Amino acid sequence: MNVNGKHYRTIWPKQDNPQIIEIIDQRFLPHNFVVEELAGLDDFVSAIRDMHVRGAGLIGATAAFGMYCAALHTPQEKGESFLKEAARKLIDTRPTAKNLSWAVRRQLAAILGIADAAERLKKAYETACLIADEDAEYCRRIGEHGLGIIREISKRKNGEPVNILTHCNAGWLAFVDYGSATAPIYAAHQEGIPLHVWVDETRPWNQGAKLTAWELFQENIDHTLIVDNTGGHLMQHGQVDLVIVGSDRTTRTGDVANKIGTYLKALAAKDNNVPFYVALPSSTIDWDLCDGLQEIPIEKRSGDEVKFISGLSTKDQALTTVLCGLPETPAVNYGFDVTPARLVTGIITERGIAEPNEKSLLSFFPEYS
Ligand code: MRU
């Protein structure tokens, strides 16, 4: 995707030194575009845990490069135990996104058992690059499949702008490129379909205000920022044609964990007959789980993310953090919620649009039967 007209991915090996991995440090967006270098395993661990990178696909790709970094620094006498320990450290950073453990386990399966260190390192690098390339390609395909939904609505509206609501950031910043929820939006925009995006600000971290709005601005797509509680009102007044969100973990039965607040959007969409689609690459599906509410681990982050808010000071244009309420007020911060399959219209994957149930998902991914 484009930043000031230049194409970027969200993670890449440094051009003149591929032992260093570069990322866009998302904590400073949209005000500063900062590229950070990750060189040691601890850099990868804190980049994921402290949300320099975030979003399901990008967390997975970062963890995959983190395993490459671990392979690079494996002491000769430790070998596989070092790699397993690195895997555990990476997986422990954030519990909800399936892509994280999926990518780490894929790396382990690729490199454990290779005795020769140089060969192991080569394999770890190739696997990380493959995971990143696949993530981008699968998101591109999600865009192709989702485009049909937007095209249909546009036809029905005789070319009037299609109003799409999205929550959090499931854009290219949440993946290696394209994004999941935004990929159909970018594809429709490229095709010349008039559209407008309602961007939920997404408290407490404000991924919508800081990231999704910035991405859409970079791509010249008409959009409007709204507070998280506005979606229901807009739906009641016919101002939302379609909701598309991403997912951090989806069960084989079609229950969907996504950023906190998604469930409320799905309820409002159901009540107002607004189609509610979830876009995700198959690396997000947890084929071991059947009941999202009972089984998907929900990340609990620091209450300080609720109590404080950060942004650009209008006084001196510096990035600033301010306390909203009393320092003594207790705050709780669940990162995600689960939307049951019954509230989902369809799941847009890299292989096509599945109904939110086991039979339909398996018809697209029979290898998990
Ligand atoms: O806490 P985050 O920002 O890593 O949460 C991830 C998300 O942005 C969303 O839940 C998103 O919609 C799915 S990830 C593509």
Identify which of 23, 135, 138, 168 to mutate to test ligand 1's pocket (most ligand atoms within 8 A of the CB). Answer: 168
Query: Taking a C-beta distance cutoff of 8 angstroms, is the pair 233, 268 a contact?
Result: no
The reported pLDDT for the residue numbered 199 is 98
> 247 alpha carbon to ligand 1 midpoint, in Å?
7
- Token pair belonging to 29: 């967006």
The reported pLDDT for the residue numbered 212 is 98
Q: Which of 109, 134, 159 is the last residue of a domain?
A: 134
175 and 121, same structural domain?
no
> 112 alpha carbon to ligand 1 midpoint, in Å?
30
Residue with tokens 């040691």: 40
307 and 277, same structural domain?
yes
297 and 171, same structural domain?
yes
**Residue 330 included in any domain:** yes
109 and 29, same structural domain?
yes
**Residue 15 included in any domain:** yes
Query: Residue 56: CB within 6 Å of ligand 1?
Result: yes
The reported pLDDT for the residue numbered 293 is 98
The reported pLDDT for the residue numbered 118 is 94
Query: Residue 168: CB within 6 Å of ligand 1?
Result: yes
**Residue 229 maps to which CATH number?**
3.40.50.10470
Q: HSE-up of 211 (CA within 13 Å, CB side)?
A: 30
Nearest C-alpha to atom 7 of ligand 1 is from which residue? 55
Query: Residue 10: CB within 6 Å of ligand 1?
Result: no
162 and 77, same structural domain?
no
179 and 225, same structural domain?
yes
How many domains are there within the chain? 2
Round to whole Å and give the CA distance between 73 and 260.
37
277 and 249, same structural domain?
yes
Distances (CA, A) of 244 to 7, 290, 345: 24, 23, 10
150 and 129, same structural domain?
no
Phi, psi of 54 (to 5 degrees): -155, 175
Q: Point out the ligand 1 atom lying closest to the alpha carbon of residue 245.
A: 12
Of the candidates 340, 301, 304, which has an alpha carbon nearest to the alpha carbon of residue 323?
A: 304
Query: Residue 335: CB within 6 Å of ligand 1?
Result: yes
Note the pTM of the prediction, 2 decimals.
0.96
- Domain hosting residue 289, numbered range: 145-368
Residues carrying an active site annotation: 248
355 and 206, same structural domain?
yes
> 335 alpha carbon to ligand 1 midpoint, in Å?
9
Kindly give the confidence (pLDDT) of every residue in the chain, 369 residues in length, as a single tens digit, with 9 standing for 90 and above. Answer: 889 889 999 999 999 999 999 999 999 999 999 999 999 999 999 999 999 999 999 999 999 999 999 999 998 888 799 999 999 999 999 999 999 999 999 999 999 999 999 999 999 999 999 999 999 999 999 999 999 999 999 999 998 999 999 999 999 999 999 999 999 999 999 999 999 999 999 999 999 999 999 999 999 999 999 999 999 999 999 999 999 999 999 999 999 999 999 999 999 999 999 999 999 999 999 999 999 999 999 999 999 999 999 999 999 999 999 999 999 999 999 999 999 999 999 999 999 999 999 999 999 999 999
Q: What is the DSSP string of 51-80?
A: TSS-SHHHHHHHHHHHHHHHHHT--TTTTH
Distances (CA, A) of 271 to 44, 129, 275, 347: 42, 43, 10, 19
Query: Residue 207: CB within 6 Å of ligand 1?
Result: yes
Q: Which of 86, 101, 134 is the last residue of a domain?
A: 134
**Residue 139 included in any domain:** no
Q: Which of 103, 134, 165 is the last residue of a domain?
A: 134
Round to whole Å and give the CA distance between 127 and 142.
22
